[in-house]
């Protein structure tokens, strides 16, 4: 990973920040994107102090396509070759579909799907030059249904299917596309997604450690690994859901259907 140019979106907190630290420890050249400029600066200073690594930061709101396009073009012009793109930026709202506002529905697909696609398309020529790789952070919710995650799960399912097809299209160019399906991660994400805190309580025993997951993701870089699914138990549950849909529905309704 040393000297590889790695772009990470959604790098200001949670999994994105954890991945940045792991990659910095291995002396990668990092390009970090996030909405919070002050937080980006803090992370930049932290990486320099802890790992003696300089990194570039770009402020961009992935809710706004025009910002995504502008920053993508800026990065593409400055770095002719990009080795790895990690699409981590995302948003979610855990509410029943009937209660979701149009604004939240739009924001979810805008951030999780459309901006990911636009950003990837802009940087694709640079990634192709290095015969590099794209790592898209999806979710176990794309494979396993639970109440109050309809729009978030639908957006992540779109990311999953997009990634699987992109992998086929880019194989002839020797560009690898990898999917990471994650269950709930112990990060501030859930504080915003569900302000009641009930979802986090329900899934506490399946919560992933962001630092450990970041390490696992980093270990896939440069490999031919197609997909990383964590936690393993939820991956098994997704297979069970296909084989026994009615039993799975009953389980999901009774375990995850919090008030």
Instruction: List per-residue pLDDT tens for the chain, 259 residues long.
Output: 789 999 999 999 999 999 999 999 999 999 999 999 999 999 999 999 999 999 999 999 999 999 999 999 999 999 999 999 999 999 999 999 999 999 999 999 999 999 999 999 999 999 999 999 999 999 999 998 888 999 999 999 999 999 999 999 999 999 999 999 999 999 878 677 777 777 667 667 778 999 999 999 999 999 999 999 999 877 776 776 776 677 667 666 666 554 4
Cβ(44)–Cβ(93) under 8 Å?
A: no
61 token code pair? 């709101």
Range of the domain at 66: 5-255
Please count the other Cβ atoms lying within 10 Å of the Cβ belonging to residue 219: 13
The predicted pLDDT at position 124 comes to 98
For 22, phi then psi, to 5°, come to -65, -45
SS3 readout for 7-39: EECCCCCHHHHHHHHHHHHCCCEEEEEECCHHH
As for how many domains the chain has, the answer is 1
Question: How many CA atoms lie within 13 Å of 7's alpha carbon, on the beta-carbon side?
Answer: 31
Say how far apart CA 47 and CA 203 lie, in whole Å.
31
Give me the pLDDT at residue 95, please: 92
Selection from 174, 41, 160 nearest residue 90 by Cα: 160
Strand order of the β-sheet with 55-59 is: 55-59, 29-34, 5-8, 84-87, 133-139, 176-182, 227-230
- Residue 114 belongs to a domain with what CATH number? 3.40.50.720
Return the pLDDT at 244: 66
**Residue-level pLDDT at 257:** 58
Q: Which string of DSSP letters, residue by residue, matches 135-180?
A: EEEEEGGGTS--TT-HHHHHHHHHHHHHHHHHHHHHGGGT-EEEEE
- pTM above 0.75? yes
Cα-based torsion angle of the residue sequence 248, 249, 252, 254 in order, rounded to the nearest 10 degrees: -110
Q: Is 185 helix (H, G, I), strand (E, B) or coil?
A: strand
Residue 201 pLDDT: 73
From CA 162, how far away is CA 95, in angstroms rounded?
Answer: 25
CA torsion sign, 33 to 39 to 42 to 43? negative
User: What pLDDT, on a 0 to 100 scale, did the predictor assign at position 23?
Assistant: 98
In the three-class reduction of DSSP (H, G, I as helix; E, B as strand; rest coil), residue 182 is classed as: strand
For residue range 44-96, list pLDDT tens digits in order.
Answer: 999 999 999 999 999 999 999 999 999 999 999 999 999 999 999 999 999 99
Which residues are known catalytic residues?
Answer: 152
* Other beta carbons less than 10 A from residue 54's beta carbon: 11
């Amino acid at each position: 990973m040393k000297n590889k140019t790695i772009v990470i979106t959604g790098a200001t907190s949670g999994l994105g920040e954890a991945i940045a630290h792991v990659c910095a420890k291995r002396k990668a050249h990092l390009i970090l994107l996030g909405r919070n400029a002050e937080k980006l600066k803090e992370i930049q200073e932290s990486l320099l102090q802890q790992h003696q690594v300089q990194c570039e930061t770009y402020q961009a709101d992935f809710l706004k396509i025009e910002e995504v396009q502008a920053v993508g073009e800026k990065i593409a012009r400055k770095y002719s070759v990009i080795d790895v793109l990690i699409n981590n930026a995302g948003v979610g709202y855990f509410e029943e579909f009937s209660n979701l506002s149009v604004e939240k529905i739009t924001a979810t697909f805008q951030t999780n799907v459309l901006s990911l696609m636009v950003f990837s398309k802009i940087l694709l020529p640079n990634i192709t030059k290095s015969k590099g790789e794209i790592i898209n952070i999806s979710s176990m919710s794309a494979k396993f249904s639970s109440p109050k995650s309809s729009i978030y799960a639908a957006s992540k399912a779109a990311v999953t299917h997009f990634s699987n097809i992109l992998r086929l299209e880019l194989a002839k160019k020797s560009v690898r596309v990898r999917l990471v399906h994650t269950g709930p991660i112990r990060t501030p994400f859930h504080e915003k997604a569900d302000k009641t805190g009930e979802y986090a309580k329900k899934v506490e025993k399946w919560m992933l450690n962001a630092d450990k997951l970041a390490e696992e993701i980093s270990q896939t870089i440069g490999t031919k690994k197609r997909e990383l699914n964590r936690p393993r138990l939820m991956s098994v549950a997704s297979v069970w859901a296909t084989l026994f849909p009615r039993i799975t529905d009953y389980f999901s309704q009774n375990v995850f259907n919090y008030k």
